Amino acid sequence: MKKYRLDLAYDGKDFSGSQIQPGKRTVQGEVLQHLSKICNPDSFTFSGRTDSGVHARQQVASFSATIDDLETKAHSLESMTPDDITIKKIKRVPMNFNARYSAKLRVYKYFVKIISNSHPTDRGNHWIIKEDLNLNNLNELSKNFIGNNDYTNYAKKDSTRKTDLVISDAKWIKRNNTYIFTIEGRAFLWQMVRNIVGSLIAVNSGLLTEEDLLKRLNDTSLPRVNHLAPPEGLYLWRVKY
């Protein structure tokens, strides 16, 4: 048996998330269905989970198998996968490589458009909102998420995960008619990025005060922030090793 790294991208619109689930169409389910035709994969692991509707520009998986003529088999896998998944590469890696635990940095991007500047085709890959965004204010607020914080109130509860995390960067830019939020860190909690984006935009819209947004950082006695951005604007953008 040898260890392999698989890099892929996908449009999450028609998937019930990345992780395999009985009776549902998932990215892992589709990949394993076709990967099993060229080898017997074992210990298949993603760099991180993505929720239903969330996209990936670069997702990474690791698995163990024995694959003869890797280049030919990789081309075969590419031709078998559906149009909403792109196999970018497969390569041999050291046996201690693990797509999840070996990752040093994960980068997520969230895309937002104002309804007056949007098109119907934007709805599957942006959050379409009514109000314009105050970038200066959003960037000042985003700075509070950089560094070490307890994100219990900015994620869906999961008792198995450490909630004290370090975020290395969080910022907004506007490119043409699109607002883009980028956040970087080694690890993220379930729905954490969507909760942060939803909360920032709630402050922009007057639905949440800056004080309440900041109070929920580190104060685990308070309830979870009740502003969750929709999944279609979120992309797992890059994973660094």
CATH architecture for segment(s) 105-240: 2-Layer Sandwich (3.30)
Catalytic positions, written as ranges:
51
Pick the CATH number of 2-93 from 2.60.40.10, 3.30.70.580, 3.40.50.1820, 3.20.20.70: 3.30.70.580
Q: What is the pLDDT of residue 25?
A: 97
Q: What is the pLDDT of residue 57?
A: 98
pTM: 0.95
| CATH topology match: 2-93 vs 105-240 | yes
Residues 6+ apart with CB under 8 A from 5: 60, 61, 62, 89, 90, 91, 92, 93, 97, 99
| 3-state SS class at 193 | helix
Phi, psi dihedral angles at 169 (to 5 degrees): -160, 145
Name residues of the chain where pLDDT drops below 70: 159-160
For the chain, what are the domain ranges?
2-93, 105-240
